[in-house]
A = this chain, B = another copy of it.
Amino acid sequence: MGTIAALAGGVGAARFLRGLVRAVPATDVVVVGNTGDDDVFHGLHVSPDLDTVTYTLAGAVGAMGWGLAGDTFRTLEAYERYGEATWFRLGDADLATHLYRTSRLREGATLTEVTAEITLAWGLKARLLPMSDDRVATVIDVAGAPNSGSGGGEPVPMAMQEWFVRERARPPVAGVRFEGAAEARPGPAVLDALREADAIILCPSNPVISIGPILALPGVRDALRARREQVVAISPIIRGATVKGPADRLMAAAGIEVSCAGVASIYADLCGTLLVDDSDADRVADVERHGVRAAVAPILMRDADDAEALARRALDLVS
């Protein structure tokens, strides 16, 4: 098999990718990472999903699936003195990555270039491509401001991390937008990676806010449609619930059934095969009603062995 392209969000994708780089030579893997969650904290450019993938593949990720294992929070604690909000928990060692990224971007490097430098420094053999070097911001339109007391009213836009981390994904979602996506260009190697890959995997990530921003970039959806038979998705929904994260709320807010069948409905035009959990075997017909082939496998990954088995199963479906 030649190269494998994988569209990836954060924690779920990273856990899957641990297995993919064991199932095939890691140098054959090209990961296209979501940057819609990127944001600036304390003047630093933070790329949560890219870093989660990097740290996970380096075997250095924290227990929660993000940040660095064993990290401390001295800088952030000291920062509170200056009255700035510190709800986005950046560890001391993690900060070095954001400092380096920010410093290089300011020198004129592209996010693609800096990401290559960072993954090299962490010894990754897989390539990690930011979906775009342009700014795309995932915006959650919240139905009425939290604590506004007014109820209803105009939706209030929140940056993804504000809604997800600061507000703990509690405010009801009126809609999701990818600001800048229509004008953004995919990263310089992204479309070629999709065209040339022998298989394309949509990782078990949030279809709305992790894979969604990638699909919103001009040319990406068309590139995937052209390769539909080589595209396999892994459902992030098991028995109508998310394994991790707010996919359930965001799918529901978008009017999509929170199920593997709902995932199939989102991906139907660009994905030939959906891998669903064994426990969702009774939903195979509902998936296939969307014109997407369904296959079943144990999807929940307890460890890298599970992830490797899942990756092998996914690749078998499109080779």
Given that A75-B96, A75-B99, A95-B95 are contacting pairs, would A82 and B43 also be in contact in the complex, using a CB cutoff of 8 Å? no
User: How many copies of this chain are found per oligomer?
Assistant: 2
Given that A81-B121, A83-B121, A96-B82 are contacting pairs, would A43 and B103 also be in contact in the complex, using a CB cutoff of 8 Å? yes
Q: Is A44's CB under 8 angstroms from B99's CB? A: yes
Q: Is A95's CB under 8 angstroms from B78's CB? A: yes
Report if A122 contacts B (CB, 8 A).
yes
A99 and B77 CA atoms in complex are apart in Å by 13
A60-88 to B contact mask, C-beta < 8 Å, 1/0: 00000000100110111111011110000
Q: Is A79's CB under 8 angstroms from B92's CB? A: no
Q: Classify the secondary structure of A's interface with B.
A: helix
Given that A82-B100, A99-B43, A103-B42 are contacting pairs, would A92 and B74 also be in contact in the complex, using a CB cutoff of 8 Å? yes
Report if A93 contacts B (CB, 8 A).
yes
Report if A154 contacts B (CB, 8 A).
no
Report if A303 contacts B (CB, 8 A).
no
Report if A118 contacts B (CB, 8 A).
yes
Q: Is A43's CB under 8 angstroms from B106's CB? A: yes
Given that A81-B96, A96-B81, A118-B82 are contacting pairs, would A102 and B72 also be in contact in the complex, using a CB cutoff of 8 Å? no
Report if A222 contacts B (CB, 8 A).
no
Report if A117 contacts B (CB, 8 A).
yes
Query: A15 CB to closest chain B CB, in angstroms?
Result: 23
A-B contact pairs, 8 of them (CB 8 A): A43-B99, A74-B92, A74-B93, A77-B93, A78-B94, A81-B121, A84-B100, A92-B92
**Shortest beta-carbon contacts, A-B, top 9:** A43-B103, A74-B92, A78-B96, A78-B93, A79-B96, A82-B100, A75-B92, A75-B95, A42-B99
